[in-house]
Amino acid sequence: MKKYSRRKILQFLGRAGAASMLMSSGTLLASCKTTKTKEVEAEVAELIEQPVEAVDDFISIFKGINPIEIDEVVMAEGLNYNIIVKWDDPINDEDTFGYNNDYLAFIPLDPENKDDGLLWVNHEYMSPMFVSGYTGGEEEERTKEQVIKEQYSVGGSIIRVKRGDDGKWKMVKGDRYNRRLNGLTKIPFAWHESIAGADYAVGTFANCSGGVTPWGTILTAEENYHAFYGETDYSDPEWKKKVEGSARLGWDQFFDHPPEHYGWIVEVDVVTGTARKLVALGRCAHECATIHVAKDGRLVVYTGDDANDQCLYKFISAVPGSLEIGKLYVANIEKGEWVSLDYVEQPVLRDKFSGQTEILIRLREAAALVGGTPLARPEDIDIDPISKDVFVSLTNNVPKGDFYGSILKIVEDNEDKTSLTFKSETFLAGGEETGFACPDNMAFDLKGNLWFTSDISGSKMNQDPYLAFKNNGLFVVPTTGAQAGKVIQVMSAPTDAEFTGPFFSPDGKTLFLSVQHPGERSMSLTELSSNWPDGGDSLPRSSVIAVEGKLIEALNGVV
């Protein structure tokens, strides 16, 4: 068992000054000229009464926060944050940072310099009231100009970020790498056939979570695409009708882009800004894309379809390094099998669809036909860097009575991600006993501690049956120390917001994090439910923050 000094315990509690006194005087509490509470002092005193061996980690004594309902970013002791960029900030002379930032990834430009790199940020969707001024009033006329503003506000941003002389991460405004991809950007399909009559799509949007490839590009997942141009009603043989009410945001009033052009995983080269839509990974409400390189060099990509009773998918490339040539599978959890969605291998798919392209476009229908297991909204997927197991957050399935969700663990057979059989079990179940509900994005740190965010919907937050959880939060499950396996809340989000896109810097000292949709339930521009982050009467603005501090360093083992 690792030994820890009292100095380390004090450092962990942010008491470096007191620790110095301890080292010089040899006495502890008598020397403490600290403002910490008596309660914390008592806890430290109790700990140091134990043999040093009993305190097997810094991590044993860190304190989380209780759920809280205030319009602030609230953090556990040992954490601090600074804002890197907010919605509508200029990133260069032409472009501004988009709305509702979600997934983000830090890609160093020079592997030797961990304090400088490019940040990719997803912009999932937008609130027309804030972006274009459209409020949906009965007498209100919707204009094309409003829709163009909305198209611009989603997609993604690429910004250069550097650690400044003060040690804080900052955006390098006007940097030559800074650019936007948005709902107006032409993006080709990486496929040998056209998709709904075209070899490119206009725009990417609904960009929820994502992943990073081994070669440093990013994968951004188009999730609830139907809200923008609607979804095709495939009972119409001509594919001309749309599912009624599917285009909630009504962009199809002014643009007739086919729904089939959206709902893909998109690969973006953050250095050049070029992008392509990866048809081979299928089309659904993709939450994320998590990539793994198998021992033989083939790629395995996991992705979930975030809707009630939808499925978990796995793409296995036929050749090393390809995101175009390979087979897609859907999980049958009961049987522990990955079931092929290949036109040649599945007679039931041949009876229904005209070919592989149609299977990929109508993925949900194909998955149901071959026995894919309906799940409780599979959201983020991450691979434990230590055990290599695959973790899937299942956020909830309210119609089925699953209000709090869970995290599923998948162990591929033979320790091989190309395996077509697996075992699975519930790793953590949400609920008042475990202290969290509706798990969404996850990230493992350098030591394999699991961090995850919650996404209780704005319309349900602070209401029954979610009252106990208060605002959405960030949680960590330590893998070592006396608190190993416990779910500990370490941050609380502002009113109506969720934290999204947790991503650790390569040195393990920073957690880049999105604060998404504060004030989403504002009734009007003068009846705001949040004024985060600028306070006063200001508009709420989704932002990217850099979270740092002793707690992150301790958990990452970089103290």
Which parts of this chain interact with Ca ion (CB under 5 A)?
A: 208, 440, 455
Please report how close the Cβ of residue 441 comes to ligand FEO at its closest, in angstroms: 8
| Closer CB to Ca ion, 208 or 268, in the complex | 208
* 255 and 169 Cβ atoms separated by less than 8 Å: no
Give the whole-angstrom CA distance, residue 104 versus residue 367: 29
> Considering only residues 379, 389, 412, 553, which one is a binding residue for ligand FEO as defined by CB under 6 A?
379
Positive/negative CA dihedral, 282, 322, 411, 395? negative
Site for ligand FEO in 83-142 (CB under 6 A): 124
* Residue 389's binding partner out of ligand FEO, Ca ion, none, with CB under 5 to 8 Å set by partner kind: none
Answer yes or no whether residue 57 interacts with ligand FEO by CB under 6 A.
no
The three-point CA angle 100-440-74 to 5° equals 70
Q: Does 496 bind ligand FEO (CB under 6 A)?
A: no
Q: Scan residues 154-173 and list those touching ligand FEO (CB under 6 A).
A: none
Size of the site for ligand FEO (CB under 6 A): 6
Between 440 and 548, CB nearer to Ca ion: 440
Q: Which of 89, 150, 223, 389 binds ligand FEO (CB under 6 A)?
A: 223
Among 287, 305, 382, 496, binds ligand FEO (CB under 6 A): 287
**Binding partner at 223 among Ca ion, ligand FEO, none, C-beta below 5 to 8 Å by kind:** ligand FEO
φ, ψ at 155 (rounded to 5°): 105, -110
Shortest-Cβ-distance residue relative to ligand FEO: 208
Cα separation, 408 vs 395, whole angstroms: 10
- Tell which residue, 323, 320, 310, has the closest CA to residue 219: 323
Nearest distance in Å: CB 105, ligand FEO: 16
Residue 408 CB, nearest approach to ligand FEO (Å): 15
Which of residues 287 and 402 has its CB atom nearest to ligand FEO in the complex?
A: 287
Closest CB 20 distance from ligand FEO, rounded Å: 46
Complex with ligand FEO: residue 47 or 288, whichever CB lies closer? 288
Dihedral pair phi/psi, residue 100, rounded to 5°: 45, 65
Q: How far is the CB of 380 from Ca ion (least distance, A)?
A: 7
Tell me if 306 contacts ligand FEO by CB under 6 A: yes
Q: Which residue has its beta carbon closest to Ca ion? A: 455
- When CB distances are held under 5 to 8 angstroms depending on the partner's kind, the choice from ligand FEO, Ca ion, none that residue 382 binds is none
Answer for the pair 333, 373: CB distance below 8 angstroms, yes or no.
Answer: yes
Q: Which does 150 bind (CB under 5 to 8 A by kind): ligand FEO, Ca ion, none?
A: none
For residues 22 and 31, what is the distance between their CA atoms, to the nearest angstrom?
7
The dihedral formed by the CA atoms of 455, 461, 463 and 468, expressed in degrees to the nearest 10: 60
At a CB cut-off of 8 Å and minimum separation 6, what does 512 contact?
A: 84, 104, 106, 119, 169, 501, 502, 503, 504, 505, 544, 545, 546, 547
Residue with Cβ nearer ligand FEO (146 or 500): 500
Tokens of 5: 């000094």
Q: Is 400 helix (H, G, I), strand (E, B) or coil?
A: helix
Written in H, E and C, the secondary structure of 7-76 is HHHHHHCCCHHHHHHHHHHCCCHHHCCCCCCHHHHHHHHHHHHCCHHHCCCHHHHCCCCCCCCCCCCEEC
3-state helix, strand, coil in the chain (%, to 5): 20, 30, 50
Partner whose binding site includes residue 124, from ligand FEO, Ca ion, none (CB under 5 to 8 Å by kind) = ligand FEO
Contacting residues toward ligand FEO, per CB under 6 A: 124, 208, 223, 287, 306, 379
